[in-house]
Amino acid sequence: MKSTLFFWISIVAIISIKHVHAQVNFLNEDFSTCVSNLPSGWTKESVLGNQVWQCNTSGYTGSGVSINGYASGNNLNEDWLISPLIDLSTYSMPLLSFWCRTKYAGAFIELYASSNYIGAGPPSAATWTPINVNLPTSNSDVWFLSDQTNLSSLKSAPFYLAFKYTSTTSAAAYWRLDDISIKEGALSIAKKFVNAGSCAANYFSNPSSFQFTMTGLTGNLMLNAPSPFELSKDGTTFSNTISYSASASGIPQTVFVRIAPTVSDKVYRNHITFQYNGNAVAESVMALGTSFPDDKTLRVASWNMRWFGEPSWCNCDTALARQQASVVLKDLDADIYCIQEMVNVPKLNALTQALGPQYKSVVSPYCSGVTNPSSGLYQTCQKLAYIYDTTKINNIGTFGLLASTYPSSSTAYDCFSSGRFPFILKTVLNLANGSKDTLIFSNIHAKADNTISDYNRRKCGSESMTDSLLALFPQQKTIIIGDFNDYLEGTTVSSQTNSPYLYTMNNGFQGITLPSLYPGASTYVGSTNHIIDNIMLNNALLTHYADSSFYIFTEAEKYINDFSYTTSDHFPIVAHLKFNFPNGVESIQKENSLPFTVQNPVGEMLTFLVENESNEPLQVKILDISGHVLLEKKLSGGVMQHSFSVASIQCGIYLMSVQQAEKRSIKKLTILKN
């Protein structure tokens, strides 16, 4: 009788224990609720020693968990951090990721899974299978992302994950964990970035697109776009959410993306996310868009391209670097690119051509140690350059600032990194109604490094540049832009407190890239709080700057493979200046659209139908995907069908705008010729 009673008590106890952990079908633990106790469902089991897993306020983002076997000396420990019971049966390819950090010598943490652990008690009572994961270098003391660990072999039965920590009396490492998640990984995205374009508030942009393929899809895949981004399967019907059934499995899908902002003059950067059977998918698509309409905006970018086109110094595949740079510059869709560390002029010309026929480039004749382009060193030195859109910008002259003072005076030569003089571009902007405006660019690549000598040379360069710009262009709108190799607030030099550019900011220029405005932000890859690529505007231009429109294009590192090795060690920076231009992409108004039908693709002759046409004339434009007008027609009203030749336009994908009075619409147009 006693043995029978003991049996049933044991069974009840086991059943009770197994329900200590509620079963979950996803894992996304950021430990934000971890204060004195572990989050619900998580347990810790100490096998040896007094040190245990515990909450820690210094996680990767906010709180995390940690363990340290050192306490008044190294100690013998074995401790397990165990997850809730996880069921991955609805996943196609579950992928585990987590952030971790280790300090001091000692054993590495280990990851295990068990399908027969009862939810509490000694781990030794269950069978645990080791899982191989990537971990940081011993004693590295930096946060490390361990990701892409495939858990597909664990889909057949619910299981527990466990992080096992050990230490000895001779070595005890300090380990931290945070942001442990399992997401669906059976999604292939051709490119994980999309520029959804620009438009005015209360309008919507012309759609861009990206492609994905979902393999092994047996349930429902849902895509979510945060406002003001919107999604569409067909480029016509848009919403914040779209979904796909199992019939889409293995078939490449095109998703159209646009923005429909309600607030003017904003930059929107967010992620389009995926859910499969309600589970978060590991992959996402970064989206960029603005409520700065193209016809009212000058988009200004700057980028240090790291020895562009010079294999012996960039230590890279220069053909790949050019290809990657072309992708980044097209995605930025700027009107002018201010380039530093450009070496190979033919490769710059090829990059310019890739941006489109409306772009031109110009290169400085100066660089460090070279004051004449006929010098044999000119071909392999770092040069300053511009790439600009000729539909908005006219180049009326370039020169090296203070270059004429050399060799009679070597002061400016020394201050500007031994002859790398600021490269001045004088421009006239082509504005609406035939009006013009003058804008002066001063592209700089200041002296690098952090000695007091380097600081003094940057400071000297700042002072001489400022005095010269004020003397030459006292009334014109002027921008100083480029790689400053230092901050506009404070400095990288430990013995100094003031920015070497303080003189410039005290004499008519204002920095818009202050670290205090963008805390934690960096323009140098792999660093934090390190804004060394900067922009300063004089007072005449400052009123044209759209407040907070500056951003650092860190997205490039996330969708360009090995960005810092293949492309650059700097991120591009972008700012928006407000002017009125005549030929921008026309935003599509949410109301008063003009329905028209065009048969795609078209050959040399384009034919389209307009519904409910009045007698008002039609304005028809063919634009490239950057919004530049390639062909414009004024057609008579009162007729439904219209035709005209597009033989002058090369094969490709374009935009077609049709406007009649206050109504207009824009559609994609594919031109193919026999």
pLDDT digits 0-9 by tens, 647-671: 888 887 788 888 888 787 888 788 8
The residue type at 503: Y
Structure tokens at 359: 């772009």
Q: Residue 226, preceding bond cis, omega within 30 degrees?
A: no
Backbone phi, then psi, for 546, in 5-degree steps? -80, 115
CA distance 407 to 57: 59
Task: Tell me the backbone φ, ψ of residue 380, rounded to 5 degrees.
Answer: -115, 15
Question: What is the pLDDT, as a whole number, of residue 195?
Answer: 97
Residue 324's φ and ψ, nearest 5 degrees, are: -65, -40
Tell me the torsion sign for CA atoms 562, 563, 564, 566.
positive
Q: Are 119 and 201 in contact (CB under 8 A)?
A: no
- Strand pairing class (551-552; 618-623): unpaired
Give the integer Cα–Cα distance in Å for 151 and 49: 31
CA-to-CA distance for 174 and 252, rounded, in angstroms? 46
> What local confidence, expressed as pLDDT, does residue 588 receive?
54
CB neighbours of residue 443 within 10 Å: 25
For residue 119, how far is the Cα from the chain centroid? 41
- The predicted structure's pLDDT at residue 73: 96
Q: If you search the block for the tokens 């006239």, which residue do you land on?
A: 428
* pLDDT on residue 394: 96
pTM above threshold 0.75: no
- pLDDT for position 2: 45
Q: Say if residues 508 and 538 touch (Cβ distance below 8 Å).
A: yes
Give dist(CA 231, CA 225) in Å, integer: 7
Name the nearest CA neighbour of 469 among 379, 552, 540: 540
- Within 10 angstroms of residue 607's Cβ, the number of other Cβ atoms is 13
Encoded amino acid at 635, one letter: L
Q: Which residues of the chain are modeled with pLDDT < 70?
A: 1-22, 583-592, 612-613, 625-627, 673-674
pLDDT at site 625: 67
Q: What is the pLDDT of residue 187?
A: 86
pLDDT of residue 24: 80
In what helix (H) or strand (E) does residue 204 lie, and over which residues does it extend? strand 203-204
pLDDT at res. 422: 97
pLDDT at 148: 85
The continuous run of DSSP H or E covering 320 comes out as helix 318-332
| DSSP H stretches of helix in 555-614 | 555-559, 563-566
Query: Among all chains, which residue has been given the structure tokens 């005015």?
Result: 200
Q: Residue holding tokens 């409520």?
A: 291
Nearest to 442 by CA among 368, 373, 537: 537
Rounded Cα–Cα distance for residues 438 and 426 (Å)? 7
Yes or no: say if 455 and 496 are a contact pair by the CB < 8 Å rule: yes
Tokens of 196: 């959804």
DSSP secondary-structure letter at 152?
G
Rounded CA-CA distance 499/493 in Å is 9
Q: Can you read off the two tokens belonging to residue 555?
A: 């997205």
Cβ–Cβ under 8 Å, residues 598 and 608: yes
